[in-house]
Structure 1
C-alpha cells in the first residue's frame, strides 16, 4: 500500500511538472529573429527578407536560390516607433513578387506554424511585440491546442499617447483568434502640448486683478 501511494505521488508530481513546463512563458527574441521564423505555405521557389535602414538594404535571410529583385523604398514594420522597415522579395512561378505591408505579409505566412508566425500575422491588426516591455507585451506560452501571446497595441496617438497589452489565444489548427483579453494600459506619455497633462494642471496660474475692483492708492504719511 505504501509503495502504491509513493508511485501515485511520483506520477502526480511528474504530471504537474509537465503541465508547468507547458505553461511556462517564453520571451520573443528580436523582431529580425521573429521574421526569420517565417515558413511560407505557398509554392514559393525562393525568397529574401531585406532590412532597410536610412536607404540601405541588408539581406537578413535568404531561402532557396538567389533571386534578382528590385530594391524597395517602402515596406512593413512590426513596431510603430521604428524609422526603418522590412520587405520580402520572392520568386513564384518564374515571377518576382514583393511583400511591403502587413496584410501582404499575413498572406505570405499562410498557415501559422509557430508562435512567431502567430505574432507576425497579428501585426496586421496592430498588435506588436514590444521589445522594451517583453514581460508585459512580448512573450508567449502554448499547449497542445493553442498559442497564448502577450502583445502590445498602440491604443491612442492623441494626448496621452498610450499602449495597452493584451493576451490573445490563437488556435493552432485554424489560426483563428479565440479570445482577446485586455490587460490594461502599460504606457501613458504626455508632452507639453497636451492640454490634459497632469504636470501642467499643477502649475499655479497668477490671478489677474478684477476689472471692477478699484485700484488702491498708497496712503501718504
Structure 2
C-alpha cells in the first residue's frame, strides 16, 4: 500500500511538472526568427523571406528553390516600425512571384494559426507589436492544451504623450480569433519639448509664477 501511494504521488508530481512547464512564460526570439517559423496557410514549397535594410536585400529564409524576384520598395514590420528597414515575402506557390508587403497580405499568407509564431503574426495584424526592447512585458508567451497566451505591446498614442501599453491576448489553438484581451497598463509614456501638456513643464511654470509676484508687491510698497 505504501509503495502504491509513493508511486501515485510521483505520478501526480510528474503531471504537475508537465502542466507548470507548459504554462511557463517564454520570450519570443527575434522578429526575424518569428517570421522564419511561420507556416503558410496553403501548401507552399517555395517562398522567400527578405529583410531589407538601408536599401539592401538580405534573404533570411529560402524555402524551396531560389527563383528570380524583384526587390521591393516597401514592406511590413511586426515590431517597432523602422523607416530604414522592413520585411517582405516573395510567394511562388502559383508559379509567378507574388509579393507580401503589408500586414493584411501577411495574414492571408499565414492563414490559420498552426503554432505560436502564427499566433504572434496574427496578433500583429490586429495592431499589437512584439516589443523586443521590453521583452518581459511585451514579447513573451505561454500556452496550454487549448490556447496561446501572448504578452504584447500596442502603440496607443503617437501624440503627446507618446504611449505604449501592454496586453495579454488569448488566442485559441482551434480558431483564428482573439478570444480575450487583458490590458496590463502603460509601460512607456514619453513627452518631448513640443508637448504643451508635459507635466514637468507645467510644474516649472507653477513654481515660477509665485516667485515673481511677491517681488513686485514689495517694490511697490517701498515706493509708497
TM > 0.5 fold call: yes
TM-score between the two structures when normalised by the length of structure 2: 0.89
Equivalent position of 2:163 in the other structure: 162
- Give the CA deviation at 1:45: 4.4
Structure richer in strand, relative to its length: 1
Looking at structure 2, the residues matched to 101 and 81 of structure 1 have their Cα atoms a distance apart, in angstroms, of: 12
Write the distance in 2 (CA, Å) between the matches of 1:197 and 1:163: 17
Q: Which position in structure 2 is the counterpart of 1:197?
A: 198
Query: What stretches of structure 1 move > 6 A for 4+ residues in a row?
Result: none
**Aligned-CA RMSD value:** 2.1
- SS of residue in 2 equivalent to 1:122: helix
SS at match of 1:95: coil
TM-score normalised by length of structure 1: 0.90
Do the aligned partners of residues 216 and 179 (structure 1) sit closer, same or farther apart at CA in structure 2, a change above 3 Å counting?
closer
CA shift for structure 1 position 158: 1.5
Query: Secondary structure in 2 aligned to 1:103?
Result: helix
Unmatched runs of 5 consecutive residues or more in structure 1 = none
1:27 and 1:134 in contact (8 A); partners too: yes
CA distance, structure 1, for counterparts of residue 86 and residue 31 of structure 2: 11
Q: Deviations over 1:58-97 (max 9, x none)?
A: 1111111112111100100112342311111111322210
Cα distance in 2 between the residues matched to 1:94 and 1:175: 28
CA contact (8 A) 2:41 2:111 kept: yes
Q: Would the alpha carbon gap of residues 48 and 200 (structure 1) be closer, same or farther in structure 2, given more than 3 Å must change? A: same
User: For structure 2, which runs of at least 5 residues remain unmatched after alignment?
Assistant: none
- Number of residue pairs matched by the alignment: 217
Alpha-carbon distance in 2 for matches of 1:190, 1:6 = 61
